[in-house]
Structure 1
């Protein structure tokens, strides 16, 4: 306020509201800051713009609404649009959901297009809410930015109720804002029940995903609404008032009910939503590993379906970012100079994480997110000169933070350089485990081993088909780059020259060896070990000798391995048992590491895809297990490896069968019975050749015809395995097909 002196009365300046009172014949003035300078005109104490009333000119008279010039005008149809929006949302949201579900079920191309459009508009909604949070900073916004940003208050329902309520109805207004989402929930529940009553039911998963999308997308707005009563800013008179309702003095009796409602709102919205997302993110890997868990994940497509499978955790990171964005205006309301800097740091962190992780399922969504985040940063840079920085304490704090940042710059560079040098100079093994195996006898098993280890954790495994680019370095890799060697003992492993050299190199250089005993393996007796050189040609023996590996070293290694305690693996056991043994071996490699809990495979009754092959060939079994993991991970569909006719009979939900054709599979009578049973249940077949399948000789077909199995094989191989095979195979092959052989028909 301005006091001209002498007998002239004091008057208030624009942007401030002065409360005048006489106490004991003396004039007392209390100065409040107005939310918008145009609301409080310069003049006599307590003067407001036209149509305004209350402390700091915060309210309009009943029947009036705010205008762009700070005054209040009589309410018209345009002023009522925020109150008409809620019923429109309630009446239109579920019909749109039904229409979208119909379109997405009819054509995959349409479904993908709708998904991408929804993700992009969801990113835009989140960006607009960030703009709403930025609009609450102590910045002197100018038109047209001020007009655009002020309209975004609809997201957090920061709207005036003066058209329908009397001024000072703060509890009713704030309670209505907190109850907006429950009202939408009740309305959509009613529509959902009505759809079930008229025999046009909407699935519960669709209903749940709809509200999940709303809660995740509007987390920032809900957090802003819940924290509004705690957003108190100082006034020249030393009192604090709410930033959005400047007529409410913080921690006064009229502020108490708002604080209680806000505490309940914080627990009901941001805390509950973020806690639920954190729990679902924590459980996601467990659900993904188990067949039964995939059915649970169908309910949470709104959360994880937007991102690539390996970036599922970005849903939690993004939600935490949105929560922090909403916290900044409330937490830093007393330090406005920090608001722009902290918000810029938060957006930069999110932009960096998004650029490194590239998390969105669609590249278009990734690029769109980059553009939106960059636009927010540019807006902050352009708005920073408009920041109202007139507090000495805040200026000092900013100066301290700037000095800290300047000191961090050289320290960060020095720390990075030291870390890089220490990592280079520190001796460490490149591979945690080296899988020594005979490719024909355990190639698929080792692939399954590596797949399961990576499914449950992190471990660097050497598998020659993935890592080896120079065969001459194989023994050097064992001796210098390997922490532990896992000897996959199959019947012919000890007769393989390269495998013998790998195990011998490990023993010579003190690398621990863990034996993994497979079906059919038995250690040779002492006489066979002494004659082991007879297995290899002179050229092979020379190759070993040139690498410093003598025959006596190999014999000593074999005797050493025979004394070691190892692990026995039966490939005919269940998936859970094989996974448990693989994790036991991995824990032994890491020496004391806690073994991860094995996820249950799930019930065969819930499986939608069955996998079938012969049980005679161990490698065929391992290949089927690999296919099961790949299908389940890529398609998010519950799968089950059938081992008996009882499994097939119990598969009430199955519609497809993935049949692995391997060497000798058609000669297995149990396989023929399983194919016949699945044919009787009208399953659609997808035959897959593992590369070893060959058609049997002609006499086989005579025997198969006599045993009534020929028609089953002809139907499987030549008729396509059902009418839908032609459509099912390209989809599965597109998801699985890195290196999978084509069907042999």
Structure 2
């Protein structure tokens, strides 16, 4: 400025101020030249004028000469260079913004004149007052710039300005396209057509799809690669070309390319193929000869390149790689690889490499090895061993149980063990027929045991001669016939050398040997015969015979011939099973009864190793073997396993319940072996091939439902039983008695009670109704309405009897005592010292019955209602007692004392005579009389029971229904047979002696009935006792007559009929009653006679008293021991 003043001779001086306010005030006051900015509000009110110098000379300024004006600062509109991209309307606004210096000064002057120094308020006033200046600055909202397009009020793109309200950036899939209308140029967002795409917003054009890609939808943001199985050879495609378009395998086509994975080529499917050359079949499919793609199928590996490989364990021929066979049995013979590949030495022209080439035999690793001399040696050794085994079996069976030799238990166990070993081995051979992938070493075990199933391949017979499958099958089926021939040769040789044919051909021995061979190899024979029915289905749907893989199951050719052979061979096992069943079930019981020793020896193989009565187990064993052989023929792997396990479980249960083997340990062995076999098959089921999961789940569901129904059924049954017990208990009467004192009377009471019309329920007697001792007290407490105590001398000291009574008291069962003549109520001393008298009463504690409870029961029994039986027991007294028991009304737990006395004694002599007259009228005409000791109540009860059981059997025979003789009564004139109830001391009864002697005088026949286990048969002491007893009686006649008569009684074989025995169930007594009826009707009973023996001297009388018999009678003692 100093230079400028100097250049132009301007008289000026320069001054400064301390601050801005002083600077302003000085200049305003001086009104002279000053330094100021423009535009600025400081001196706007003074309206200063600019001193103008010549225009700026930049060259002089560079030289430091400042004689011209400064360059100054141009006021302009400045904005971000890319503002148009991000805010095009703001850029247009700024471009249109035009203000002159005067406009700016006027705006600043307004602020100064307003005096508020609020520049924003001043700007607002200016905008309101100068709309004509800035209205044209604002751009049109529908004039869109590049990258944008017209949109409506919803923000959606439109192509007409009349519908548009704004411009927005074109989204992906659209392009900003220019257009012109009456309002000028603008742009709209055009949707990309098919075959093009745009992945960026605000772009001005759509991009065509590259080759290998397509865009099928307008407005695509990106093109999609051609899918696997299609290709695109041009740009801008809206759809790709499909590989194999129009063919039936179109969906199996793919586009593949090779890649290297760990050094190996692998074909993978990929997208975006650009030519037809990339088309091929999908991975997992293969191309057939016609060019169609097919599913690869089981056993093949298809990588998609058209190259097919066979997996290990499968086989397909080179000319038909799609027809795949499973190498069942030994998958090692099919190592896999290119179609047509077999293990070394295998003939790849056979199905599934089943055969070895000529001169080779199967090896251990699936390959075939050259035959050697050892192969023929193995076959020869097998023949020799078989012959020796049959010879040993022949000798063993010939000596087994022959000529009355007793069985050697050790040999019997050994023979059963060997038989079980062979049986289990054959059962294991059945496992090899299942579709189970058994692993090593168990597979080798099954291969070995297959020899017992007549699998002769193990003997490498192919090295000896080449046999067709039909010939091998026939050899296996009829091999047992060769065993029969060998057995016949051995038998003939033995008979010729040892017997010299002295006993003929002894065909029975040969039948026995052949029967044993058939029993031993029944599974093998039947299993070999059924081989054609066990077919294996291969992945290609073809079915072949499992054991003969080269034979197709198609009912043609060789297979048809196999079926014919099978039909003929089935005659062997079927006929053997039928004959064995008939002999065991029908003939064996008859022949045993007839003691047909020759027949029993011939067919001993069916029963000899089983306990008596269990011969039918041989038929059950054959049935089990039949089931095991048939199961592998049934389709469905899971069903096979289920059926085999069910057969084994049923067999275990039958063996456990029947215990059929003669030696107990053999039963344990069989049950254990069967359980082991069941475990093996269960474990093997985990490796089955054809498991139908749906069927298995259905079976599991059915079993679950069955178990649930079983549980529910048992619950319902138990609840119904509980309700039935509450409403009506099973046992209306429970007879509590002591066997030796009232066993027969209890049986009599039951027989009479069940005949009463008022008895609807059952009557409990332990030998009939008790199978489990632990349930005894449960029957009393829960299942009994009335408890009848048969009071005898010893009942109070029997712990089980007192346990029954105590249980009845605790459960408040209606109880009554029937006091027999020797019964005494419990005394105070007995109650207090009960444990001293019955030390083992403490054993009842295990059943919840304490000593205190028993003692309380004893006191309670003294207050119970009691029926006292007086006089001699007979049917009338028994029926009177039963009538009272039926009509009695005893409150549960009643302690009231009620005593009743029942007697059958006549009140006066007139009644006795009347009774005798009535008996003569009633029983005159009877041919059978029962003689019993009336002093023994148990013997009388036995006679009454016998009468009740025998009478229905003799009803149709006139006059044979027996009656019971009373005391002091002779047999009726029409009586022909005396049935003597033999009880302890019965022959010491004078009435018995008198009737026997008189009956002998009448030559009546006699049948002794042994009624007690303790009865003594006639001995010297017995006869001495009889003579001594008879000599003290008032019996008329010679006492020696009684001895002779008693001996004649036991010339007949006695029949045991003991109702008081622990095992005397009603079924046993009925059998005995039938025997007695048969004896009575048989007419073979010898009559007694006093004329058979007449002692003529005192010495002979003494000899008679010593029990010495004439020679004709010395067999009496031996016969007396035979009790039926």
TM-score range, shorter chain: 0.5 to 0.7
Residue correspondence of structure 1 range 122-271 to structure 2 within 5 A = 122-160=419-457, 161-166=461-466, 169-200=468-499, 203-251=506-554, 252-269=556-573, 271=574
Task: Tell me the CA shift for residue 147 of structure 1.
Answer: 0.7
CA–CA distance in structure 2, aligned partners of residues 86 and 230 of structure 1: 29
Give yes or no for contact 2:610–2:661 (8 Å, CA) kept in 1: yes
Residue 72, structure 1, aligned to residue 368, structure 2: yes
Q: Deviations over 1:651-706 (max 9, x none)?
A: xxxxxxxxxxx9x9999979xxxxxxxxxxxxxxxxxxxxxxxxx9733289978x
**In the alignment, does 2:687 pair up with 1:386?**
yes
CA distance change for structure 1 residues 28 and 135 in 2, over 3 Å: closer, same or farther? Answer: closer
CA RMSD of aligned residues (A): 5.4
Q: Is the 8 A contact 1:141 1:386 kept in 2?
A: yes
Look up the match of 1:691: none
The equivalent residue for 1:408 is 706
- Contact 1:104-1:114 at 8 Å conserved across structures: no
Once the two structures are overlaid, the 10-residue window that deviates more, 355-364 or 499-508, is 499-508
Q: What is residue 687 of structure 1 aligned with on the other side?
A: none
Query: Which residue of 1 is the match for residue 648 of structure 2?
Result: 347
Structure 1 residue 278 corresponds to structure 2 residue 569: no
In the aligned structure 2, how far is the partner of 1:665 from the partner of 1:132? 71
Matched with 1:686 is: none
**Which 10-residue stretch deviates more, 213-222 or 233-242?**
213-222
Out of 655, 661, 671, the position equivalent to 1:360 is 661
Matched, 1:94 2:391: yes
Q: Is the 8 A contact 1:131 1:149 kept in 2?
A: yes
Kept after mapping to 2: 8 A contact 1:20/1:29? no
Does the C-alpha gap of structure 1 residues 268 and 536 become closer, same or farther in structure 2, counting only changes over 3 Å? closer
**Tell me, what secondary structure is at the counterpart of 2:415?**
helix
- 8 Å Cα contact 1:572/1:621 also seen in 2: no
Alpha-carbon distance between aligned partners in 2 of 1:187 and 1:539, rounded to the nearest angstrom: 70
| Deviation by residue 1:58-106 (Cα, 9 ceiling, x = unmatched) | 1223443222211122334554435643453235423553256458669
Local SS of the residue matching 1:60: coil
Structure 1 residues 137 and 502: CA distance shift in structure 2, 3 A = farther
Q: CA deviation at 1:381?
A: 3.1
Report the equivalent of 1:319.
622
> 2:873 touches 2:934 (CA, 8 Å); kept in 1?
no
Within the candidate set 98, 120, 137, 2:417 is matched to 120
Residues 701 and 184 (structure 1), Cα distance of their counterparts in 2 relative to 1, 3 Å cut: farther
Query: CA separation in 2, counterparts of 1:371 and 1:428?
Result: 42
SS for the counterpart of 2:453 is: coil
C-alpha contact (below 8 Å) 1:208/1:299 kept by paired residues: yes
2:601 aligned residue: 298
1:41 alignment partner, SS class: coil
User: 1:317 and 1:38, CA in 2 relative to 1: closer, same or farther beyond 3 A?
Assistant: same
For the pair 1:59 / 2:386, whether they are aligned, the reply is no
Summarize the Cα distance change of 1:45–1:37 in structure 2 as closer, same or farther, 3 Å threshold.
same
Cα contact 1:286–1:293 (8 A) shared by 2: no
The 1:418–1:184 alpha-carbon spacing in structure 2 relative to 1, beyond 3 Å, is same
Among candidates 40, 51, 55, match of residue 334 of structure 2 = 40
Report how far residue 310 of structure 1 moved: 3.1
Which of 324, 341, 353 is equivalent to 1:31? 324
Change (3 A) 1:147 1:95: closer
User: Deviations along 1:380-429, whole A, 9 cap, x unmatched?
Assistant: 2332322224x6xx221111111111111111122234445667849899
In structure 2, relative to structure 1, the CA distance for the partners of 1:114 and 1:668 (3 Å cut) is: farther
* Cα distance between partner residues in 1 of 2:961 and 2:374: 74
Q: Is residue 82–residue 154 contact of structure 1 (8 Å, CA) maintained in 2?
A: no
Secondary structure of the 1:14 match is coil
Pairs within 5 Å for 1:442-461: none
1:111–1:40 distance in 2 versus 1, CA, 3 Å: same
- In the other structure, the counterpart of 2:676 is 375
Structure 2 distance, partners of 1:666, 1:78, is: 88
Could you say if the C-alpha distance between residues 189 and 285 of structure 1 is closer, same or farther in structure 2, counting changes exceeding 3 Å?
Answer: closer
Distance 1:298 1:623, change over 3 A: farther
Residue deviations 1:450-493 (CA, integer Å, cap 9, x gap): xxxxxxxxxx9999998999995599xxxxxxxxxxxxxxxxxx
Query: 2:416 touches 2:666 (CA, 8 Å); kept in 1?
Result: yes
User: Cα distance 1:231–1:327, how it changes in 2: closer, same or farther (>3 A)?
Assistant: same
- Rg: which structure is higher? 2
Using the size of structure 1 for normalisation, the TM-score is 0.61
Shift of the 316–420 alpha-carbon distance from structure 1 to 2, 3 Å rule, reads farther
Alpha-carbon deviation of 1:709?
5.1
- Residue matched to 1:608: none
Q: Distance in 1 between matches of 2:633 and 2:379?
A: 24
Q: Is the 8 A contact 1:281 1:316 kept in 2?
A: yes
> Are 2:308 and 1:308 aligned?
no
Answering whether residue 873 of structure 2 is matched by residue 497 of structure 1, we say yes
The alpha-carbon deviation at position 174 of structure 1 amounts to: 1.0
CA contact (8 A) 1:228 1:244 kept: yes
Deviation by residue 1:34-54 (Cα, 9 ceiling, x = unmatched)? 122101121222221122222
Please give the alpha-carbon distance, in whole angstroms, between the structure 2 residues aligned to 1:319 and 1:59.
Answer: 35
**Structure 1 residues 319, 465: closer, same or farther in 2, change over 3 A?**
closer
Distance 1:354 1:399 in 2: 31
Counterpart residue number, 1:50: 344
2:492 is paired with a residue whose SS is helix
**Would you say the 8 A contact 2:453–2:527 is kept in 1?**
yes
Take 2:934 and 2:480, find their aligned partners in 1: how far apart are those partners? 79
Q: 2:382 aligns with which of 85, 90, 95?
A: 85
Q: String of CA shifts for 1:125-184, please: whole Å, max 9, x gaps.
A: 1111111111222221111111111111111212223122325x0111111111211111
1:100–1:421: structure 2 CA closer, same or farther, 3 Å change rule? same
Aligned partner of 1:548 in structure 2 is none
Give the equivalent residue in structure 2 for 1:622.
1055
Matches within 5 A, 1:644-655: none
Q: Is the 8 A contact 2:321 2:339 kept in 1?
A: no
Q: State whether residues 65 and 72 of structure 1, in contact with CA within 8 Å, keep that contact through their aligned partners in structure 2.
A: yes
Gap regions ≥5 residues in structure 1: 22-26, 447-459, 476-494, 511-523, 545-553, 574-612, 625-642, 644-661, 671-695, 722-732
- SS of residue matched to 1:2: strand
Could you tell me how far apart the structure 2 residues matched to 1:527 and 1:464 are? 37
SS in 2 for 1:497: coil
Query: How far has the Cα of 1:113 moved from its partner?
Result: 1.6
Matched residue, 2:750: none
SS of 1:65 mapped into structure 2:
strand
Change (3 A) 1:315 1:34: same
Tell me the TM-score normalized by structure 2: 0.42
Q: Which deviates more, 217-226 or 275-284?
A: 275-284
Q: Which has the higher helix share?
A: 1
Partner of 2:613: helix, strand, or coil?
A: helix
Cα distance in 2 between the residues matched to 1:57 and 1:116: 46
For the structure 1 residues 79 and 665, does the alpha-carbon distance in structure 2 shift closer, same or farther, using more than 3 Å as the test?
farther
Tell me, yes or no, if the aligned pair for 1:133 and 1:326 is still in contact at 8 Å: yes
Q: Distance in 2 between matches of 1:351 and 1:620?
A: 44
Distance (whole Å) between structure 2 residues aligned to residue 665 and residue 464 of structure 1: 40
